[in-house]
Amino acid sequence: MTSFKLSLPALLVASAVAITGCNATSKQQETQSAQQVTVKDAKAFLANTETELMALYNEVSRAEWIYANFITHDTSSLSAAANEKMTAAVVRLANEASKFDKLELDEDSRRKLDKLKLALTLPAPQDPAKTAELSKIVAELGGLYGKGKYCKEDGKCLSLGDMTATMATSRDYDELLDIWTGWREVAKPMRPLYEQQVELTNQGANELGYADTGAMWRSKYDMPADDFAKELDRIWGQVKPLYNSLHCHVRAKLGEKYGEDKVPQDKPIPAHLLGNMWAQTWGNIYDVVAPANADPGYDVTELLAKHNYDELKMVRGAEKFFTSMGFAPLPETFYERSLFTKPQDRDVQCHASAWNLDSKDDLRIKMCIQRTGEEFSVIHHELGHNFYQRAYNTQPIYYQESANDGFHEAIGDTIALSVTPGYLKEIGLLDEVPDESKDIGLLMKMAMDKIAFIPFGLLVDQWRWKVFSGEVTPENYNQAWWELREKYQGVASPVARTEEHFDPGAKYHVPGNTPYTRYFLAHILQFEFHRALCEIAGSKESIHRCSVYNSKEAGERLDAMLKMGSSRPWQEALASVTGKPEMDATAILDYFAPLQKYLDEQNKGRQCGW
């Protein structure tokens, strides 16, 4: 999954903890203040706040860019200082925004104030001592994960990166089990800290008017919090039959590989056998399940080499995709200031990301590009973020973000879905498009990542919301986690787990307090956008073969949506492209229809489900 830099609102959401106590007034002062404020005061506050936030955003963006590209002790300190300054300002402004809650305001002003309040991820209580306690807990949780290693009895210590690589490549049952259990020891000490954090942040959410922190997170989605949770389950219900078919086939192949004594064919799949530390994507074990004769007949990496594509030519080629749809070219500063290759003389963050440093047109990507087919798709994905960032740069700072937090990733992935064999032929990389019978392997490989991920993308926050609401208590944190893993994924722990363990903490986003539903949404929306754009482009191809390259009609419709930013409810943004305000996962079923047919044939006579 590719990270990216949005404008200010996303940076605010990424703040570790909303320290509501640091500038808090007493409740009596707040009440007096709320009685005295006027509509004029609210509008003046929003105008002044936008100016302050814009200046802070520019400062933080540059500090973070320098740190990401020149990793030293000093650049780390400068980045941390800039972020601390911005976080403190956002906390102060979000609390000030609350004093206008009782005013009757126009829709736009109310939306901006809500955006500011909802920028907080972990709202702390008004009590300064509790604020300090929460800040300490957040830092401790982050440190436990970041420094986490698995040290074996022989004294050899493995980093998460080491273990991730082994999980991807090893097919040794016992080695995988050892690493899987070893990494989860890191999370055990997180348990009491997490319990305290939930209690404190719920108190902060209550003070801001929300039932609990989970309800606050769900309130960001332009609909009642409980309705949003039901909507997610409805969409999952649409995808579940395809997921179940994939699960059945993968389990059967793993049974052939490891023996049905280790992989029973009527039970959940042991979580350590799916090629990923969290069993969230399964693409690394594609070799175990690859269909016969699945070779598509070409290799994009080899094609890039054959046609002399270096890193810069790959980027310019991806840019041409967007200009073919009618988007204006990227500014020359994009090529002057981006990082395309790993420098030999210094440490940099190589994880691919897209940036807009000034909320206008200082667009950049940061990648250590490898000359591979996979990276060629990633570049298209990253530029999708950049063109989104530029499209909404005329909006007020409050709206310089995607329609909801799933849209940004979805747009990048939508563009990557158009990197099809037909597209490769059109740009001169491929001589002939293979017969459609060759598509099963490509679809299987994609499903092993995208379809396999969908239930995991849903359950991480399902668990957290239940914890925040009190439905899941500290006495059954781990039990509830594995119940959800089994319910949604059909995946089980390979060994007994107890409440001594804290397996949710072994996934970065839990101790890192990063909301996860955005990734579920992105996986649904990208296929919906792709199908709609293909229809707008008048494509006669199967949806999985369609590319919207060269379609000015699709580009015009997409651009109109991107320009909205988050100025309107996401349902309106969605309808502007798809014609409907509701999310619809049937596009996924359309896309993978040939694979579904293949899986149905393979699964005949098998006992599916768990």
Catalytic site residue from 44, 81, 165, 351: 351
> How far, in Å, CA of 376 to CA of 355, rounded?
18
Who contacts 564 (Cβ-Cβ below 8 Å, separation ≥6)? 392, 395, 403, 572, 573, 576
User: Per residue in 486-495, is it b (16+ CB within 10 Å) or e — as a string?
Assistant: bebbbbbbbe
Who contacts 69 (Cβ-Cβ below 8 Å, separation ≥6)? 339, 348, 349, 366
Q: Is 307 a catalytic residue?
A: no
Catalytic site residue from 42, 352, 532, 554: 352
> How far, in Å, CA of 146 to CA of 48, rounded?
38
Residue type for 568, please?
Answer: R
The angle, 0 to 180 degrees and rounded to 10, between the axes of the packed helices 439-469 and 190-207 is: 70
Q: Is 351 a catalytic residue?
A: yes
Who contacts 342 (Cβ-Cβ below 8 Å, separation ≥6)? 348, 350, 368
* Segments in 392-438 forming alpha helices (H): 407-417, 421-426
∠ CA 223-228-233, rounded to 5°: 160
> How far, in Å, CA of 156 to CA of 449, rounded?
31
The two tokens of residue 403 are 């329609």
Catalytic site residue from 375, 382, 401, 528: 382
User: Per residue in 565-604, is it b (16+ CB within 10 Å) or e — as a string?
Assistant: bbbbbbbebbebbbeeeebbbebbbbbbebbbebbeebbe
Q: Scanning the structure block, which residue is given the tokens 């009642």?
A: 224
Q: Is 385 a catalytic residue?
A: yes
| Residue 191 near residue 477 (C-beta atoms within 8 A) | yes
The two tokens of residue 601 are 């044939």
Catalytic site residue from 207, 319, 409, 528: 409
> How far, in Å, CA of 82 to CA of 78, rounded?
6
Q: Is 219 helix (H, G, I), strand (E, B) or coil?
A: helix
Q: Is 519 a catalytic residue?
A: yes
Strand partners, 150: 158
The two tokens of residue 515 are 């909301």
Q: Is 104 a catalytic residue?
A: no
The two tokens of residue 137 are 């807990």
CA 328 → CA 168, 313, 337, 399, 407, distances in Å? 40, 18, 18, 22, 21
**Cβ-based burial of 30 (10 A; exposed 0-12, middle 13-18, buried ≥19):** middle
The two tokens of residue 530 are 């792709």
Residue type for 140, please?
Answer: E
Catalytic site residue from 34, 50, 88, 509: 509
> How far, in Å, CA of 367 to CA of 346, rounded?
14
Q: Is 409 a catalytic residue?
A: yes
Q: Is 598 a catalytic residue?
A: no
| Residue 395 near residue 375 (C-beta atoms within 8 A) | no
Residue type for 169, please?
Answer: T
Cα 406 to the center of its chain, rounded Å: 7
> How far, in Å, CA of 19 to CA of 331, rounded?
38
| Residue 493 near residue 180 (C-beta atoms within 8 A) | no
∠ CA 446-450-456, rounded to 5°: 150
Catalytic site residue from 247, 249, 272, 385: 385
Catalytic site residue from 388, 423, 477, 519: 519
Please list the active-site residues. Answer: 351-352, 381-382, 385, 409, 509, 519
